[in-house]
Amino acid sequence: MLTPFDEFPIHQVPKPIAISATSDKNAYGRYWFGASHREGAFQIEAAFGRYQNLGVQDSSVSIAIGGSQYSFHASGRAPLDPTELSVGPVRLEITEPFRQLRLIVEPNETGISCDMRWRARVGALLEDHTLMMDGVSTVLDMARFMQFGTWEGTFTVDEDITVFTHDEVVGIRDRSWGVRPVGVQGAGRPSSGPPNAWLWSPIHFDDECIVAGWFQRPGGAFWRPDGHRIAVVDPIPHSVSIETGEVARLDPIGQRLTFRSGTRWVTSASIDLVGSDGVPVVLELEPLARFDMRALGYMHPEWGHGMWHGELEIGREDWNFAEVSAQDPTHQHVHHLCRARLGDKVGVGIFEQIIFGPHTQFGFTDILDGAQ
């Protein structure tokens, strides 16, 4: 059970690194990457997950371009060494921690491949710890850091190659670990209440990056609102925090959303934010393109996170956005590539939405009814 990192004094519990500190089958570690073309031409995203108590390692990459979305999936047996970041043709390289990474999908039978290089723009930010309970049951117990950067590289779908540079494509990434629902969920009582909505927006501006996110209970009450503004400085630190001075609070306190008629897909958003100085500001978001998170395994019936597919399996899935049903539950978790405005500043980033259930603050009264 020993792996190379057991040579180092990094352990937090009296177990080898390869063995999880918890027996919870929902234990996980996960990377997520987003790459947004500044003018809205395309959105690329990728994920890489390890589920040590399920013995599974998986990855997905996808591009939304030209009104369609193309997705690659890979799943296999998790290696003993957690630093072996590969599954099938997918390989993640940590070139320089918190500074440079490389994501590669070698050419394969699906026709989807990529070679992308990440460069940090600001230091990584450790977010507030998330603990979500359903009665006495733990739903989420996780830590996460996020970071802003840029991407260069290529993404290939069949014979079509998309080439991009650091000047053209901004990026957001996160890494999280802890406990969250993964794999096939076992039998048990249903949830004790309607689901929370989740709304999140990380945005690049020339002189700073901002991020705001919150859960929202049916009826409109915010739960765990969290927001920050991070100055762009040179040299770029490995990490940033309020304590070291590069970060200031910018918490969400309200929002106004509009939706496409008959759907829950957002067409515009205004987010009210307040800093530590008490001065309110408004972040205006204009969606330019859409990316459905089903492509990365979220709520996917076949390629869900941590599902066992055998020693190794890869697959592909495509769809045209015009043909997606607005009532399909697997297409409700959405990232919108957005143009953003904060005062006289213009930027670009993402608006993430997950809205299930009777959220009367938006005019919804059922699990998936759409806007009037």
- pLDDT tens digits along 121-153: 999 999 989 998 988 888 899 999 999 999 999
Residue 103 to residue 315: CA distance in whole angstroms: 18
Residue 144: which H helix or E strand, with range? strand 137-157
The amino acid sitting at 105 is V
- pLDDT tens digits along 194-230: 678 999 999 999 999 999 999 999 999 999 999 999 9
> Structure pTM?
0.96
Q: What's the distance, Cα to Cα, between the start and end of the chain in Å? A: 57
Inter-residue contact 52 to 26 (CB < 8 Å): no
- Of 246, 254, 271, 273, nearest in space to 338 by CA: 271
- pLDDT tens digits along 35-46: 999 999 999 999
Residue 187 to residue 134: CA distance in whole angstroms: 15
Task: Work out the angle at residue 196's Cα, subtended by the Cα atoms of residues 143 and 132, and round it to the nearest 5 degrees.
Answer: 35
Looking at residue 188, its pLDDT comes to 67
Residue 257 to residue 252: CA distance in whole angstroms: 14
Q: What are φ and ψ of residue 5, in 5° steps? A: -75, -10
Sign of the alpha-carbon dihedral angle for 331, 334, 338, 344: positive
- Please give the CATH architecture assigned to the domain spanning 29-178+194-362: Beta Barrel (2.40)
